[in-house]
Amino acid sequence: MNHCNPFIPGRIPWPEGLPRKQNFSIPENIIYYAAMNPSTPKVYNKMIQCCKYFFEINSILVGKFEESKLCSNDESECLDNFEQCCVEIDISKITSKLWLINKLCDDDETHIPNFTGLICSKLYQCDINLLALEHQNVLFDNFKILVSSVKTIVFEDLTITDSNGSVVMLESIFEALPNVKNFIYTFGHDFTMVTHATIKNMMKLEYFESLHIFGLSELPEIFEVKDLFDLIMNYKDTKIVLEFCDEISDEYKDQLDVLIDIVIESEIPNVIIEYDGQVEEKLEILEDRYFDSDSDDETEEEEDID
């Protein structure tokens, strides 16, 4: 008789259509509990590799999802494999659950209607570090499910609404990100998620001082420049990028010029302020300091590792 423990698979064939039964050397209820409650993605992958029983009992696809492809390898392994390890999937048709790791991305070219709704309906667990979404509407309840472990947010022209259809304000979006370190948002044509008080409100939030990068692009002139000054002066360790849309007024540009001069004269290294028509030399100074500080950060990280 072919006996089987969790690391040595043994199978008793069953008639077509019925689940395959296994003989294990430990109680079946313990095996079943282990199959239904894998502790980590790595443990689950080892379980299904050693015995297909575990996948048949609890069918989960583990990996990062990007451009309609699922892959359980990290970025470096994908590059080494020329992405041959990545599998194209149609999330609307899969019957397995998803255990998402590393990142979840849906860009403009591969956009899937109701993407986040589909993902959440099939989700077993979400352990992603990066969430990148473009040009879509997202329910706030789904958003909160996806971002519990996220450290980097990259959004473009994204509208998040609550169950009543009301637009969720940017500060409320940020408040739902307990582990965020990098927050990058590019506005579209809808600015209903921000008011003149948004920056003030965001600076009051507990996690804001822990940010490494805070970037807003295609900004309207809705924020008072004084609030932007307070943001820059109070969070000098945060890398701040403020890129404004073309439609801002000359008067607002004059106010930004004063702010830019203060940043340059104060030798603050972590700030880029950009708008169409500004003095190129001043933009180059800001960019040079910003990217020089990037190099310093990398050196410090290497020293910490050593």
What's the CATH code of the domain at 302?
3.80.10
| Residue 236 domain-assigned (yes or no) | yes
| Residue 303 domain-assigned (yes or no) | yes
* Residue 155: predicted pLDDT: 96
Instruction: Report, in this order, helix, strand and coil percent for the chain, each rounded to 5.
Output: 35, 25, 40
Query: Each residue of 208-244: pLDDT tens digit?
Result: 999 999 999 999 999 999 999 999 999 999 999 999 9
For the cut 80, the answer to whether the pLDDT of residue 72 exceeds it is yes
pLDDT confidence of 29, banded at 50, 70, 90? confident
Lowest-pLDDT range of 47-61, 110-124, 287-301? 287-301
| Residue 75 domain-assigned (yes or no) | no
| Residue 108 domain-assigned (yes or no) | no
**pLDDT cut 90: percent of the chain above it:** 65
Average pLDDT on 122-129 reads: 96
* Residue 50: predicted pLDDT: 85
For the cut 50, the answer to whether the pLDDT of residue 14 exceeds it is no
> Which long-range contacts link 226-233 to residues 24+ away (Cβ below 8 Å)?
227/196, 227/199, 227/200, 228/199, 228/259, 228/273, 229/259, 229/262, 230/199, 230/200, 230/203, 231/199, 231/203, 232/259, 232/263, 232/268, 232/271
Which pTM value belongs to this model? 0.84
Instruction: Indicate the number of domains in the chain.
Output: 1
Mean pLDDT of the chain: 87
What is the domain extent for residue 210? Answer: 169-306
